[in-house]
Amino acid sequence: MRKILIAFDGNHFSESAFDFVRRLNDQQAILVTGVFLPAVDYTELLYSLGGLSGPIYFQDIPLDDMAIKQKNIDRFSALCLQNGIEYRVHPDIDRHVISEIKIESRFADLLVVSSELFYENLGADTQSDYIENVLHKAECPVVLVPEHYHFPDNVILAYD
């Protein structure tokens, strides 16, 4: 069984990324772990503000964000059950997003990320920085899935 990691940022559920995982499961049974990241990477925000001198508490995450994240987790779980995919969920990630993806990717055979929706709300420049960091820090192969794609017939794997 292959271990696949799929990462969703807080407010975005990528149908195409999930469809890619579903198609992989159609070919061979997989175990997929859904990682549901916060809508805002607070550590990056603090870093860009120059840091703060006192303790920081992130208990006041907007309820709307938590509700959307839970809705996405419920959707992921329902789709996995509907498609006969064995799954796990990591909903409680609240630390540095890139570090968490790095840790999770150590134990995965593949990481799937939406190339268009992953941190889209932060703007094109910041979004491309996040995707670049994910590609650089991940400790397994990464597939970036656009929202409109055709499932590949062949795969060429290149590594540095």
- What is the pLDDT at residue 54? 46
CA distances for 133 relative to 14, 17, 102, 129, 151, angstroms: 19, 19, 10, 6, 25
Q: What is the residue extent of each domain of the chain?
A: 2-52+83-145
Average of pLDDT values for 128-151?
83
pLDDT of 116 higher than 90: no
Grade residue 45 by pLDDT with cuts at 50, 70 and 90: very low
Which of 55-69, 101-115, 120-134 shows the lowest per-residue confidence on average (mean pLDDT)? Answer: 55-69
> How far is residue 78's CA from residue 154's CA, in Å, rounded to a whole number?
29
Residue 44's pLDDT is: 47
Q: Domain spanning 2-52+83-145: which CATH class is it, in words?
A: alpha beta
pTM of the full structure: 0.78
pLDDT, one tens digit per residue, over 51-77 is 444 444 444 445 556 788 889 899 999
Residue whose structure tokens are 């975005």: 12
Taking the chain, what is the end-to-end CA distance rounded to the nearest angstrom? 26
What size, in residues, is the chain? Answer: 160
